[in-house]
């Protein structure tokens, strides 16, 4: 399992952004849906690395969140009434991770339980390192670049996206290049594989190969 804990930056001096984040996370497949667990914090329990990645990308796009991922076991059925009721090593690892994320420019940290093997910790560290390179691509993207990325994603062709935005195809191409969306998405398989490896190694399952 993967516990994702997301904490609002500077919440004492900012509006409550949790409702908007929960709405944005609503379509992420979860074992226990994201919910507010503290005043300015949300948490969800997920089973798939790709879903974890999607959740982190949602939070990073907002630019107002620290994100921690705990990979490992959770107590059986402890989360039946919601993620807030969950217990187990992965929850403790997620708490460590979100605190560590507050000191990282990427705002993303990945941790395994304290009792996990050094191999599991190495997988988690590698995953965090790749997030350290990927997250700034999301955090630094301008609103204008996001408009182009979103238009291209929902359009059959870049030319159609250009027509929708009333800009030239060359402008679309230039905005995509500056957004570095291709570089970001090229990292997705590595992020998913490394997180899966951290989980497999931390739970003693077979299949994690470096």
Residue-wise pLDDT tens digits, 34-53: 999 988 999 999 999 999 99
Residues 6+ apart with CB under 8 A from 30: 44, 45, 46, 47, 51, 83
Whether pLDDT at 104 is above 60: yes
- Cross-strand partners of 109: 68
Whether residue 26 is found in the same domain as residue 105: yes
The DSSP symbol for 95 reads: H
| CA–CA separation, 197 and 209 (whole Å) | 7
Q: How far is CA 174 from the centre of its chain?
A: 27
**80 or 153, higher pLDDT:** 153
Whether pLDDT at 110 is above 60: yes
Q: Is 200 among the domain residues?
A: no
Please report the pLDDT score of residue 80 as a whole number. Answer: 77
Whether residue 107 is found in the same domain as residue 172: no
Cβ pair 57, 138 in contact under 8 A: yes
Q: Is 128 among the domain residues?
A: no
**13 or 43, higher pLDDT:** 43
Please report the pLDDT score of residue 210 as a whole number. Answer: 56
Helix (H, G, I), strand (E, B) or coil at 10: coil
What is the pTM for the complete model shown?
0.93
**18 or 86, higher pLDDT:** 18
Beta strands in the chain (DSSP E): 2-8, 32-38, 41-46, 65-71, 108-111
Please report the pLDDT score of residue 10 as a whole number. Answer: 76
| CA–CA separation, 164 and 149 (whole Å) | 12
Query: Could you write out the DSSP letters of every residue in 14-68?
Result: S---HHHHHHHHTTS--SEEEEEEETTEEEEEES-HHHHHHHHHHHHHHT-EEEE
Residue-averaged pLDDT of the chain: 93
Please report the pLDDT score of residue 79 as a whole number. Answer: 81
The enclosing domain of 36 has a CATH number of 3.30.70.100
Where is average pLDDT lowest: 9-13, 31-35, 75-79, 187-191? 9-13
The DSSP symbol for 72 reads: S
Please report the pLDDT score of residue 30 as a whole number. Answer: 95
**209 or 41, higher pLDDT:** 41
pLDDT band at 11 (very low <50, low <70, confident <90, very high): low
Where is average pLDDT lowest: 71-85, 127-141, 142-156, 187-201? 71-85
Whether residue 116 is found in the same domain as residue 13: yes
Sign, Cα dihedral of 15, 20, 22, 25:
negative
Domain count along the chain:
2
**86 or 207, higher pLDDT:** 86
Q: Is 135 among the domain residues?
A: no
Count Cβ atoms within 10 A of the Cβ of residue 143 and give its class: 0-12 exposed, 13-18 middle, 19 or more buried: exposed
Q: Is 75 among the domain residues?
A: yes
Residue-wise pLDDT tens digits, 111-138: 999 999 999 999 999 999 999 999 999 9
The domain of 31 spans: 2-120
């Amino acid at each position: 399992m993967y516990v994702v804990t997301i904490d609002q930056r500077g919440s004492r001096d900012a509006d409550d952004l949790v409702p908007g984040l929960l709405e944005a996370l609503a379509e992420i497949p979860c074992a226990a849906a994201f919910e507010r667990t503290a005043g300015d914090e949300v948490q969800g329990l997920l089973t798939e690395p790709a879903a974890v990645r999607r959740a982190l990308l949602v939070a990073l796009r907002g630019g107002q969140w620290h994100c921690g991922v705990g990979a490992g076991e959770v107590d059986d059925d402890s989360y039946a009434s919601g993620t807030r009721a969950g217990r187990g090593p992965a929850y403790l690892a997620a708490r460590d991770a979100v605190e560590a994320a507050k000191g990282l420019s990427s705002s993303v940290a990945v941790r395994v339980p304290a009792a996990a093997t050094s191999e599991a910790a190495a997988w988690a560290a590698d995953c965090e390192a790749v997030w350290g390179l990927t997250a700034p691509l999301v955090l630094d993207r301008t609103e204008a670049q996001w408009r182009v990325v979103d238009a291209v994603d929902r359009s059959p062709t870049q030319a159609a996206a250009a027509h929708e935005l009333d800009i030239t195809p060359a402008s679309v191409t230039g905005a995509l290049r500056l957004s570095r969306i291709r570089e970001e998405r090229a990292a997705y398989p590595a992020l998913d594989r490394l997180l899966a490896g951290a989980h497999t190694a931390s739970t003693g399952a077979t299949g994690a190969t470096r």
